[in-house]
Structure formats: C-alpha cells, structure tokens
A and B are shown apart, each in its own frame.
Chain A
Amino acid sequence: MADNGFEPKIIVFLCNWCSYGGGDLAGVNREQYPTNVLGIKVMCSSRVSPEHIMESFNDGADGVLITGCHPGDCHYIDGNYKTFRKIGLISKMLEDLGINPKRLRLEWISSAEGGKFAQVMREMTEQIRGLGPLDLKEEVE
C-alpha cells in the first residue's frame, strides 16, 4: 500500500441504475473505503462525455472513475457498450496528452455489489495515490 501522505481527488461517475445502487449497498453493508472519491450521478454511464473527463483533470482531479452496469444489464440496453468504446478512445487521447491513462478507469458495478463497490473505491484510491498528484503542465509537456 502506497502511503506517501498524498490524498488524491477522484471523480466517480455513477450510473443511476446499477453503480449508484452498488454504492448505496456498500453503505447499507457498512463497507469502508477512503473519502477521496466524490460521486456524480448520471442516468447512464453513456452520458459521460470526453469533455467531462477532461474538465475533471483540468480542475484538479488526480483520477477519474466511470462506473456502469455490467454488460447486458444497462437500463438503456447498451449504453455501457458505448461507454466502453468511448473510454477506450479517451484513454488513447490521454496518452497523447501525456496523462497516464491509468488515471482513468472503467468498472462495472451492479446494485447488488456493495462489496465490489467499496473494493473498487479502495483500489482506485491506492492506484492514484501510487501514481502521485497529477501535474497537468508537466505531464502534458
């Protein structure tokens, strides 16, 4: 566990139907995870656009996590497939910009997976803590 005293800021997009519910369940089950993650609810993971991700990094996020329903479970049929493709493209874009694509992560979490939700939040925090603070200027250069 990287404990370098660095407290990263992480924006998490949560789809209303699955992942947000997973977060609710994590709460019900009192699964503990770090406070570094801040959730923004969207109706479907497919609502998240490249602009939202770039804005997050720009404003000081050290990591961005997109969560959605498991393949096949999206409330809007196949929104999560679109998300999957989109995130693939954005990762490439980040690389071009000199941002470590590991700062962007996509996870499928159902509303029954409180444990997984907490686990992902812990992992993501650790991962970003390990990467250290994002210094846009430096990395972009």
Chain B
Amino acid sequence: MKKDVLIIGGGISGVQSALDLAEKGYEVVLVDRSPSIGGNMVKLDKTFPTNDCSICISAPKMVEASRNDNITILTYSEIKDLIGSAGGFDVKIWKRTKYVDPDICTGCGDCETACPVEVPSEFEQKLSDRKGIYVEFPQSVPLTYTIDYDNCVGCAACERVCDAGAINFLDTSQVIDLEVGSIIVATGYQMMQPDEWREEYGYGKYPDVLNAMEYERLLSASGPTGGKVLKRSDGKPPESVAWIQCVGSRCKQKGMPYCSRVCCMYSTKQASISKGENPDLDTAVYYMDLRAYGKDFQQYYDKAKDKGVRYLRGRPSRVYEQSDGKLAIEYEDTEKGEVKTDVVDMVVLSSAILPSSGNDKLSEILDISLDEYGFFESKDMLTAPVDSTRDGIYLAGCAQSPKDIPDSVSQASGAAARALMPLRDRKRKGRAEKKPERDVSKEEPRIGVFVCHCGKNIANYLDVEEVAEATKNMPGVVHVDDSMFACSEDAQTVIKDAIKEHHLNRIVVSACSPRTHAPLFQDTLEEAGLNRYLFEMSNIRNHCSWVHSDDPEKATEKAKLLTKMAVAKAKRLSALTEEEIDVGDRTLVIGGGPAGMETALSLSRCGQKVTLVEKEAELGGKLRRLNTLFPTDIDAREFADSMAHQVGDEKNIRVILSAEIEDIEGYIGNYTATVNGEEIEVDTIVLATGFKEIEAEERHGYGKDPRVMTQLEFDEALSGGGLGKPENVVFINCVGALEEERPWCCRVGCGNSLKNAKEIKQRYPDANVYILYKDMRVFGKREEEYYMDVEGDDGVIFLRYSTGQEPEVVTGKDKLQLKVHDNLLDEDLEIDADYVVLAMQLEGDESAPILKKMLKISSDPAGFYMEAHAKLRPLELPSEGVYLAGGAHYPKNISDTLAQAEGAASKAMVPMMRGYTKSEGIISVVDDELCSGCKMCISVCPYGAIEHDPEEGVAVITDVLCKGCGSCASVCPIGAIDQKGYENDTIMAMIKAALLEDEVV
C-alpha cells in the first residue's frame, strides 16, 4: 500500500491529524491497536469547562474520519517494523484478525447474546463485563464485532447464530506493507492504576476507592450503572464523595514528578456534575494547588464552589475503612495547619496521566527518543514541540506530554502541518467529483422518518416506538424506523438502503441537535444520491427527553409534535446548491509575535503566500519584552531574532511593519485588507494578535514608585541589566486576577514569576526572593520540575495569600514596605523590598474590539476571541476563513503557542490546498415578478448583499455575499423575498403543525 502519512493512534489527536491531512487531499492510514478508534476521550462522560457530552462531540469526528475517502482505518493493528527516512518510510503493520469479516458484519449483536464467555470490559474499566465477542462501545468505529482470541472457548455459538455469516475462525492475521512519506505518533496516555497506593489510600483494597476513569464511567449515562453513581460495596448511592488530587502526580517517590495537567479540572467537573445531579451529596476535593489555568477554567471552578463543592487544601496521608464501612481520610489542612480526619462514603483518586503502555516498544521500532518518563521527546521542547527526534516523524497530543483536549487537537493540527514537509513535492488528490444527485423536483414528497433511541438518552424518558408509530400516518411519510443510535455507522447504511428501497426523497431524523449531527446525516443523503438539503432534524433529546425527564408521557407527546413539525417542514424542502468559491494560497497573518511568525513560517514552507503585519517597528511581539522563556531560560530576544531571521529568509513571506489595519472586507477566498493605505488581497486570515497586561492602575503602589513594576517591565529591566544589588525582591502573582471583575486565570503568570525568581538568584545569590501566590499554577511538561527546583532554593520563599487579603505596599521610603498575610502560617509578615513585581492579569490585545467588528466575530469578556468550539475547534472562528493562533485565543507558554501556530497554519491550509470552499445553501431569493423595488430589504441586509437594479426596478442579491440570516424576508411588505430552507410557507406550516391538532402537515 502506498499512502502519504501514517498516523499511529486513533484517539482524538490522531483523528484530528488525519482529518486535517485528508481534507487537504493527502492519503492517510490511521492505525489503532484497539478494535475501535476513539481512544480515551470517548470514555469520558463530559468535558470541562463546557460540560459537552464527550461521546456526543467525538463520535461525529470519528464517523467523519471513517467516511473520508482519503483515510484508511486499520484497527486491532500495530506497527512491527520501520525502515527508510523522511519522505520514504517502509512500514510493516501487523493487522490482527478479529475473526469477524468487517465487510459482512452488520453489528446486529446476535453473536454477543449467544456468547457464553464473560470477561471484564476494558472500556468500562472492568466495572462490568463484556462478552468474548464484542464491540467496545456503541459508537465504535468500525462498528463491527471482534472475537477476543485469548478468552474465546471456541464453542462456535456465535458462528451458529450469525445470519450474515461474518464469522470465520480460519481467518488469519496479516502483515501489511505500507509506504508513506511521514508519520505522526498519537499514542495518547493511560490513566495510572493507583495500585501502588494500596497502602495509603486503599485502592484495590476497599471497593469504594476508585480511580478517576472508573468514576467517569459511573457518571456516564451509557456506563455500567446507567449514569448512576453507586457504591461498589453495597450498590447504594453515596452520601459523600471525596476526590484526592495528585495521586501519582507531583510526587517523585511514588509516581511522576510532573503535573498531569488535567486532574484538577476533571475532578472539578466530576464533583460539580455529581453535585448538580444530587444537591444533597457532599463533595470535597483535597488538593495542593488548584490548577484552573485554561480558558474559562477558573470560572468553571468558581461555579463548582458556588454549587457547594468543597475544596480543602491538603494532601491526605491515608485512607482507611472504619468499622461501619465508611472511609476515613486523614489529612493535614495546610490552610489551618491542623491534622484532621474526614469520613466519606466514596473516595476518587485523581490518578496521574501516564505514557501509553506501548511507547517503549514503539520508540525502538521508530527509532525516536522517549523522555525519562516514557513520553515521546520533542526535538526541541520550546522551538519544535511537535517534531520527534527523527526527521519525518511528528508528535500529537498526550503522546508527547499530558494535555487537555483543546491543547491536544491544536497540537494534532500542528503535527499535521509539520507532516506536510516531507510531502511537499507529492501530488495531492484533487477536487472530489460531485456525486450525481437525483432530481426530485417533480416527485411527490416521499418522506422517511428515523427516530433515535440515543441508547437510553431518549428511550429512557419517552416512548420512542410510540413517536415512530404516530408518525406513520402523516401524509407524505412512507417509511418510519427507529434505531439505537441513528448516528452510528451502520445506521447510515440503514438510511441509505431505505432511501433506495422506498424511493424516499426527504429525510427526517428525530434525534439530537442538528447543530452537531445534521452534517453527518446530510453526508449520508448525498451518498444516497439526495441533495443534502432534503433533510430535517427534530431534537427530541436536548430539547425534549433530557429536559422533561420527569414526565415521560408529556415528553412523548412533545416528541410527537416536534417530529410532526419536522415532517411539515420536510414536505416543503427543496434541493439547494452551494456555490463553490475558489480559495487561493494567500494568507494575512495579523501579529508578528511568536505565534504570527510561526504561522507564517509554516504556511510559507508549505508553499503558501503570506503577508505578515506587525504594528510595531520590528517583529517579535512579547519576545522583545521578555528576558527569558519559561521553563527553559532561553534568551527571549535571541529567540525572537532567530525567528525573525527565518521569516526574512522565506521568499513567500512579505512583512509589513508599523502596520495599521484600516479595514478588512470580504469573505474567504476574497478578502481585501487595507494596511497602511495599501489594499491587499488575501484568501484567509490568521489572528495572532496576542495579549496584554491589564492597566496596573494604582495597585500595590504602582505608579507611585518606579520600583513597583509589572512583570513585563521587570523582564525588560532584567534584560537591561540595571537592578543594582537587590536584597529582597517580591513577586505578587494574580494581580487583578481571580477576582470578581476579572475572574479568569492568566495561565502564564506563575511560570513567569518562577523564571524571574531563578534569574535573580543566579545573578544575585545573596538576594531573597518572595513569591506571593494564590495557587501555583505550573502545569506543562517540565514546569512542575522547574518549580520544584526553584522551591528547593532556600533563598526563594513562597507565601500564599488569598483574594481579599491583597498585600499592601507602602512607598516613598528607602525600601518598599510590604505587608502580607501568609495564610499557610496564618501570620502577618512585613518585608522590606527593593522591588515589587506585579504578575498582572492578562487580557486580549487592544486591537480585538476593532478587528472583531471588521471580521464580524466575537470575543469573550476578557477580550480573547471566541473559537468555533472550545474543545474540538480551538483554532477556528465560526466564520470560515479566519483562524486563531497564540495569545489571541488565550495566553500560553511558548511551546503551546508554537504548536498552536502550526495548527492554525494547518487549518488555514485546508481550504487553500483544497482550492475551494462552498457558499451557503440557505440564502435569500427575490421574486422579480412581485418585487416593487421598495428597497426595504436593502436597508436591513447587514452584508450589503442586495442591490437595486434601476433598470428592472427590482432588488438583486449577490449570492456569495448572502449569509442567510433571512432578515430581508421578514421585512418585505409583499413577500417578494423569501429565504431558501426557511420559506414563509415552511415556517407557517410548522406553526400549524405545532398548534392545530388535526392539521394535515
């Protein structure tokens, strides 16, 4: 087999890399050793900080990957051998047999019922059993069965019941030879089994001590308890649950010295969801530092506290079972300095994120290095975070270090961009040919309705069969079916077959939200030769079963009505076309800091043309103000110079300095930006405008005394060299942060203080450094280790203060006099300081409000742009053609910034390398006969898409400019403008269907 890229690991990172490459026309092989792709994300119940249902947002991605013609998925497979070099690798892949022919298996599950073997389910964390023949989870891709050879007793019961004849005991595993140009390693992580903690915390000893992944499965509605948290000891719900943080993390003796980066937030999520479901439940989190560092994390944490989740600062020393069966937690409350014992029903250990178990072997086969923990080593952690130590092999997601989902997918896109390098001269697959569409305009509506159970998500709360039954008699409906998961792969086949068999020409799916799932079904329609707009969804889950779960009868009635309304709409649907808009290869990158420069470099190296604009007179952004870069002590300016130099060497990059953007107009493929009076035409735009410190105003004596400085000013002073000989330097973290007005965490302040503390100690070994902090939020690879290093220095003193007890600084004296209440020692301290450094809260750049208007996008209250989806689309904005890199999304350290910048480049290259994008199908149309030329519509169109044709005296719409809001249609006094897909008639019919009992839809 000859393909372009091999991706090892089919978790969310691997899937993201695969999609990024496949959409550009490269052919990808995605290998996973499990029977299904999906990795760890699909096991999670929800994701923080948006509480998105994890499987609901990852399943569509998996299905998308499996449907992409450029992606070949090999599950149950492992890499055996590799030779060659970047651009020409020869790989041997061992594809284990599943003893079930995936092409024949329908996933019906009869074999599973027949199989007598029961073994603990790995997917369910061994909390329940699966059969010897099984699918891992209901949304598995591919959704075909696997015989677990190790546990099979060979009774052949499955073979006897398999009507399709898919089972073949004589099938053998095979070796597949694959040639590729580059490789991405995305092997993810495994959660630590805290067996080592048997002594202290009783894991494995007491049934109600769980690890976090086990708890996650208990929360999951599709998990072993149907979403009910129940004690393993007696099957009853607990009255109190405690989470113990950092089990195996931040702990050299019994685990890993690093911070696992996600545990604080996942336990906050678990606790607040549990609390939300049962307000009487007592929930407590025992932590050391609560690292709520990411976008919206702190707000999420605050909300959990408001809900009543208790946070106790202290590392429990042991957990033991009392005679009454309850669990006692012994811990030192570090805020009060007392040793206490709390008694709870259940304990969840927030266990560490460990390197994936196969990393050792894989690193040998691929000949790439692991770090001392077993994660894959970056070529250079700071400057080349997604490159492995071997050319042509790149790293994505947790294979490189622990990360949350948005950081993983950003990096996965980054790896996809890097993986293009060895492929530069390869031919890509061109535009896919349009699938032939059946002309249904002359046909009477023949509607097919598919009602989804969504596992139990719908079926538990309303009568799905009754809904289906009630729909059968509606006029125009010729086929009704219900399915377990309408979004699963096999259900798509069912829909396609039904379209053929019953000659359907409109499809209604009554299931979940069209916002997440409509595209998937629309693809299915297209595959069956129907126009994708001949589709309507009714949301009987989010808008019905989930919100009316206490009244199944009424919920069923409402679901019927919602479906009836959808049928009424479906009857009136007609085929719509999306115009293809050409997209060229020119990008405008706004912001010449590290994010902007890296994006530009990445684009240029892949042959795209870049205009890089920077408001200052030189490139470098914040790098010009920083002294060194956490956590490496690399000189920031040298780093800026080297990047600027590389930018200068690229002939595809044009740099405009001291740039002012006066205007941006247009849309993807057709932007015109006016920069310093010059009009520049580009196809895509990347925002890399960074962040800024908030105004320090008069906080802590700032402005009254030059020795009180902001962190950036202090960095500048450090690189300037003129600090005199300070005896005492005080850093105050979180200035203006974590308080009501600006609740967010700036993500980088703690690290910055640490590296400056270290710098001072190196320059002035006799000086004392005080770091006044709220929580020490250092979370990335090598950051905790760096912190431990600095903490080990006797001359660096850490004092913890809380919001509301801000340190006071008296200025005007010889020394700055600082007063602070140390809440660990519970005493007031006075320090005579030579310098007081304020780690200021950060906010979006001042250009944000202006650019926002020009590009018609939005930002959060902190001034950071709102990405299209917090978890899975962190680099894109809702409007296609605009992308995000670096601090414009949220402040981040340099290695995350560069990984994300590569990712933004990858995203921008998707439409550019494809060469086109599609315009909206839902747009407005003018009926020339009716139009009186009153121009009302012109006055309301926000896009200037309507013009008046003086000759004909009618309104004329420019299709590609119309975004389809429909406001013109609502103001036209004579109904001469209508909105396709949302025609006046259609809306009226839906109203009637909703309200009039026997209204014939």
Contact = CB atoms under 8 A, between A and B. Distances in A.
Contact of A40 (B942, B979, B990): B990
B513 interface: yes
3 smallest CB-CB distances across A and B, nearest first, come from A27-B542, A47-B966, A76-B965
A28 interface: yes
Given A28-B542, A30-B547, A38 B987 contact: no
A26 B971 contact: no
A24 B988 contact: no
A57 to B, nearest CB: 10
Given A30-B546, A47-B970, A35 B558 contact: yes
8 contacts: A26-B542, A27-B546, A35-B554, A43-B965, A47-B970, A52-B988, A76-B943, A76-B965
Contact of A55 (B565, B942, B982, B988): B988
Contacts of A43: 922, 964-966, 979, 982
Interface in A76-106: 76-79, 82, 86
A47 B565 contact: no
A38 B549 contact: no
A49 B561 CA distance: 23
A40 B994 contact: yes
Contact of A77 (B548, B551, B856): B856
Most chain B beta carbons < 10 A, residue from A20, A46, A55: A46
A41 B541 CA distance: 15
A13 B514 CA distance: 15
Contacts of B542: 23-28
A60 B996 contact: yes
Interface in A28-77: 28-35, 38-44, 46-49, 51-52, 55-56, 59-61, 72-73, 75-77
Given A11-B995, A30-B549, A43-B979, A51 B52 contact: no
A40 B565 contact: yes
Given A28-B53, A29-B276, A16 B515 contact: yes
Given A47-B969, A47-B979, A79-B942, A55 B991 contact: yes
A73 to B, nearest CB: 6
Contacts, number: 145
A110 to B, nearest CB: 10
B625 interface: no
Contacts of B878: 17, 75
B996 A42 contact: no
A109 interface: no
A124 interface: no
A21 B984 CA distance: 23
A116 interface: no
B940 interface: yes
A118 B982 contact: no
Given A60-B996, A76-B965, A82-B971, 5 more contacts: A16-B515, A28-B52, A42-B982, A73-B858, A79-B967
A129 interface: no
A32 B549 contact: yes
A40 B543 CA distance: 11
B958 interface: no
B966 A42 contact: yes
A35 B557 contact: yes
Interface in B77-135: none
A79 B276 CA distance: 35
Interface residues of B, number: 55
Interface of B: 46, 50-53, 276-277, 513-516, 539, 541-544, 546-551, 554-555, 557-558, 561-562, 565, 856, 858, 878, 922, 940, 942-943, 963-967, 969-971, 979, 982, 984, 987-988, 990-992, 994-996
B991 A11 contact: yes
A79 B994 CA distance: 25
A38 B990 CA distance: 10
A29 to B, nearest CB: 6
A22 to B, nearest CB: 10
Nearest to A53: B991
Nearest to A56: B991
A86 B514 contact: no
A16 B546 CA distance: 19
Contacts of A21: 515
Contacts of A41: 514
Contacts of A76: 942-943, 963, 965, 967
B995 A56 contact: yes
A52 to B, nearest CB: 6
A25 B543 CA distance: 9
A46 B940 CA distance: 10
A23 B991 CA distance: 19
Contact of A47 (B46, B53, B543, B967): B967
A21 B870 CA distance: 14
A25 B565 CA distance: 22
B558 A38 contact: yes
A12 to B, nearest CB: 10
A31 B547 contact: yes
B875 to A, nearest CB: 19
A105 to B, nearest CB: 17
Contact of A46 (B856, B970, B991, B994): B970
Contact of A11 (B856, B967, B994): B994
Given A24-B539, A41-B514, A79 B965 contact: yes
Given A43-B922, A44-B967, A52-B987, A24 B548 contact: no
Interface string A109-126: 000100000100000000
* Max chain B C-beta neighbours (<10 A), residue from A23, A24, A43, A48: A24
Nearest to A13: B987
A33 to B, nearest CB: 6
Nearest to B988: A55
A123 to B, nearest CB: 15
Nearest to A78: B942
Given A38-B558, A43-B982, A61-B995, A28 B546 contact: yes
A43 B53 CA distance: 24
Nearest to A39: B543
A20 B982 contact: no
A83 to B, nearest CB: 8
B543 A46 contact: no
Nearest to A50: B970
Contacts of B555: 35
Contacts of B546: 26-28, 30
A36 B277 CA distance: 24
B675 to A, nearest CB: 23
Contact of A32 (B52, B547, B964): B547
A61 B51 CA distance: 34
B965 A26 contact: no
A33 B558 CA distance: 12
Given A26-B542, A27-B541, A30-B546, A42 B987 contact: yes
Contact of A20 (B515, B970, B990, B994): B515
A39 B964 CA distance: 20
Contacts of A47: 965-967, 969-970, 979, 982, 987
A47 B970 CA distance: 5
A66 to B, nearest CB: 11
Contacts of B996: 59-60
Contact of B543 (A23, A59, A75): A23
Contacts of B276: 29-30
A38 B565 contact: yes
Contacts of A60: 995-996
Nearest to A20: B515
B995 A9 contact: yes
B89 to A, nearest CB: 43
A76 B879 CA distance: 10
A33 B547 contact: yes
A48 B543 contact: no
A75 B970 contact: no
